[in-house]
Each structure stands twice: as structure tokens, then as C-alpha cells.
């Protein structure tokens, strides 16, 4: 009987109370911090950890699974993080915007994915030892286009575009553009197969 009571209390705390915490505390604070948040926001496990000067724009029905780090990296200039309608960002994701991170509509980003648009340190070892930032070549955009799926624990680096409907397999390191409707895997990631266009595949830009 005791364990049944403890289990019921845990379910209540992790269900109803967590929903109320998300809806009436976390979501309003995120709306105050962000430049734009659409309708139907779903949040689990509290607010992301915000670092740096980051402009956040979220579309409608975005789901945030929790325990995120969102970082506007490098200097104090404003960096962009934009997430489109009906997209999902999994638990433990880290989004480091060196200039901009743009995530399209209907994108699935699995748990513990790292989108890293900033090198963090220069290649020159003396400059690195002196604590200097990387030059302009150390920053770059990341773009995840509509309907893409990024597998768990993948890393996507600066100056990369993942095309519409593409799939990045779990644990991949993506250093160059991923074509539309392809599957990439490995370190570094390479195309391993193509995906047949769906019957109602929308034209690019629609």
C-alpha cells in the first residue's frame, strides 16, 4: 500500500504539477525573453539555459523537451535562433548560434543534439593560449530545412545546411551541406542513401 501511494504521488508530481509548472511559469518567462513565440508552445523540464545575446523566434506548436542550452556565442552582437511551426527539439539539445541557427517547419531534433555555429577558439595556438576569440572564419550559420530529422547525439557544425526531408543518423558529425531527401551517417557524415519523394511532397519554398 505504501509503495502504491508513493507511486501515485510521483505520477501526480511528474504529470499534473509538471504541466502546471510548464504552462504557468516556464512558458510565460520564455515569452518574455523571446522576441516571438507562437501559439501552442509545449515545454517539458523547465526553461532552457540562456547565454549571450540571442534573438529567439519560435513558431506555432513548437515542442521543447527540456534541459536545453541556447547560446548566442562570441562577441556581444545579437545572434539569431529561429524555430519554425510544428518542430520538436529533444531533451538535452545544445544550440550554439555563431551568427544564426534557423530550424524550419516540421523538423525533428532528437535528444542530445549539438548545433554548433561557433569554433570557440582560434587555430593559432598562441592566440588560443592568450584567450583570444576566433576570427570571422570561426563563426557561421546553421540551417535545418523543413521536414528534416536529426538523430540523437549528432553534431552539426557551422556553415552547414541540412536540406528538406533529409535524415542525419544518430551520432553523426556533419561538416558540409546535406542534400534534400538523403540520409547521411558517420564521422564525418556521408550520404548513405536517398529517399524517394513522397506523393505529396511540396515544392521548394512552399
Enzyme catalytic residues: 121
Q: Are 84 and 104 a contacting pair, CB within 8 Å?
A: yes
What's the rounded Cα separation, in Å, for the pair 182 and 112?
22
What's the rounded Cα separation, in Å, for the pair 33 and 129?
35
- Bond prior to 188 in cis (omega within 30° of 0): yes
Question: What one-character-per-residue DSSP string does 129-177 give?
Answer: HTTPPP-GGGB--EEE-TT-EE-TT-EEESSEEEPTT-EE-TT-EE-S-
Backbone dihedral angles phi then psi of residue 9, each to the nearest 5 degrees:
-65, -40
Candidates 149, 192, 148, 191; CA nearest to 170 is 149
Amino acid at each position: 500500500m505504501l509503495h502504491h501511494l508513493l507511486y501515485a504521488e510521483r505520477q501526480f508530481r511528474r504529470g499534473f504539477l509538471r504541466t502546471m509548472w510548464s504552462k504557468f511559469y516556464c512558458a510565460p518567462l520564455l515569452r518574455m525573453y523571446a522576441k516571438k513565440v507562437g501559439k501552442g508552445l509545449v515545454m517539458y523540464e523547465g526553461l532552457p539555459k540562456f547565454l549571450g545575446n540571442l534573438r529567439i523566434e519560435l513558431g506555432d506548436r513548437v515542442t521543447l523537451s527540456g534541459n536545453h542550452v541556447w547560446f548566442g556565442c562570441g562577441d556581444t552582437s545579437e545572434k539569431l535562433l529561429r524555430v519554425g511551426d510544428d518542430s520538436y527539439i529533444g531533451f538535452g539539445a545544445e544550440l550554439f548560434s555563431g551568427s544564426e541557427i534557423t530550424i524550419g517547419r516540421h523538423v525533428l531534433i532528437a535528444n542530445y543534439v549539438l548545433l554548433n555555429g561557433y569554433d570557440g577558439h582560434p587555430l593559432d595556438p598562441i592566440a588560443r593560449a592568450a584567450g583570444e576569440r576566433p576570427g570571422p572564419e570561426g563563426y557561421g550559420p546553421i540551417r535545418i530545412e523543413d521536414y528534416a530529422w536529426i538523430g540523437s547525439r549528432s553534431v552539426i557544425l557551422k556553415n552547414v545546411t541540412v536540406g528538406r526531408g533529409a535524415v542525419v543518423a544518430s551520432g553523426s558529425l556533419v561538416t558540409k551541406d546535406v542534400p534534400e531527401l538523403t540520409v547521411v551517417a558517420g564521422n564525418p557524415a556521408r550520404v548513405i542513401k536517398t529517399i524517394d519523394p513522397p506523393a505529396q511532397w511540396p515544392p521548394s519554398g512552399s
